[in-house]
Every structure is written in structure tokens, then in C-alpha cells.
Amino acid sequence: MSQKNTPTPHIGAKYGEIAETVIMAGDPLRAKFMAEKFLENPVCFNEVRGMLGYTGTYKGKRVSMMGHGMGMPSIGLYTYELYNFYDVKTIIRVGSAGACNKDLHIGDLVLAQGACTDSNYADQYQLDGMFAPIGDFQLLRKAADTCEEKGFNYKVGNVVSSDLFYRENPNTKGWIKMGVLAVEMEVAALYMNAARSGNRALGILTISDHLLTGEATTSEQRQTTFTNMMEVALSLV
């Protein structure tokens, strides 16, 4: 990729300032927290629109961490630029999700094997049918192995990426009947961008609230205490 394509309209980094593996969080402050907690010598490569991004090393391996914002349009924009202009090969989303499975609890992890969606994001590809966005199997298998080794409570399966947080007529019963584990807002777009660019992606989610029981966490807890999923993500670097 030619350096003339960077910086992009939304990322201020020059070509080469972003590692081939990027761990992303919806909240840019979570990206900052991860970089300061886990990376050696982190250097900020992006502040455009407050979407913070950092590159450093973890156990001698170069890795970047960056925010991606809320919703599929936002993560779709940033991951498209990372894959197509910065030659990023692997993107791992670490985020929060609302459980819709009775066996999941606050703090448990969900490894998104696939991502259903109510979004029209795939329409741009003009396919003859319905595309099924899935995560990279090698990343998924290693993430599950790490959860087993560390004793983290986790489940592997389908999530649903919703375009709406505040829905006029909320109804998750259909997704629950189909065995969907949790609701979030970004993974499906990430998986589609990875598939279209020929690269890798995985969503690692922490249960922050429960749609069946009403359990919930604070924004501060979501920003600074969901470190298990970060450790799993770093094991994939």
C-alpha cells in the first residue's frame, strides 16, 4: 500500500505507525486504558475526533490499540481504513454485550463465533442471498484455549449486532429462541470488513448487563475492570 493513502480522513497516523494487529474497543478511553496498562512504550498515533489510538509492544511483539466508536457505521469506517489503507491483518474487538442467555452472568466472556444482525450493512455487497459473518477460526480456537488455561467463564457462539440501542418495540425473544448468546452493536460489520478485505477478525465480549435478569454495570466498570477479555485478546498477538 502506498504511503500517499495515509493519513486517511479519520485516522491521523502515517503508514507504518500502526501494527499489523489492532485490538479495538468502542470507548476510546478503554483503548487508552489498555495501552497504558499493557503496552511498553505506547505512542499515540491518532487523536482525530477523539478516537484515540496507540502503538507499542507487548512481550516483544508490536501491537496497536484503538477506539472504534459505537455502532456498525462507526466500526465499519475505522476497520475499513485499517484493513485497506494501513495493511492491518488482524483486528480484535474487545467490548461489552448484553446477555440473552440464562447461563451467562456479569463478567463472563463471549467469543463471537458468528454475528447475526438487524443491519442492512451487507447490502453494499449486492449478494444474491444472506451473508453469514463469522470470526477467524484460528483466533477463536486460541481464544478459547486461553480462557480454559486462565479459568475464565466463557461461551462460544452467535451474537447479534443491532443497529439500535433504544428500540421502539424491543423484542429479543426470537434471538433467544435461535440460541443467540448476547446483543452488541459492532461485530457483524467487523467480520464483513475482514471477509471483504481477506483479513482476520474476532469479537471478544464481556457481559455488562443481562436482558433477562436486569443486572447491569456502570460506565466506569466497563471502562477499567473488564480486563479478562483484554488478556485473552493479547494472547492472540
Residue positions annotated with a catalytic role:
209
Kindly provide the residue ranges of all beta strands, DSSP E only, lying in the chain, ordered along the sequence. 21-25, 40-46, 53-58, 61-67, 90-99, 109-117, 154-161, 182-184, 200-210
Instruction: Read off φ and ψ for residue 185, nearest 5 degrees.
Output: -135, 5
**Angle ∠(236,65,133) on CA atoms, nearest 5:** 60
Q: Round to the nearest angstrom and report the end-to-end CA distance of the chain.
A: 22
Q: Among 157, 69, 63, 148, which Cα is nearest to 110's? A: 157
Grid-cell match 480522513, residue found = 9
Rounded CA-CA distance 21/89 in Å is: 6
State how far the Cα of 237 lies from the Cα of 57, in Å rounded to an integer.
Answer: 10
C-alpha cell at 1: 500500500
Residue at grid coordinates 462507526 = 74
Whole-number Å distance between alpha carbons of 134 and 118: 15
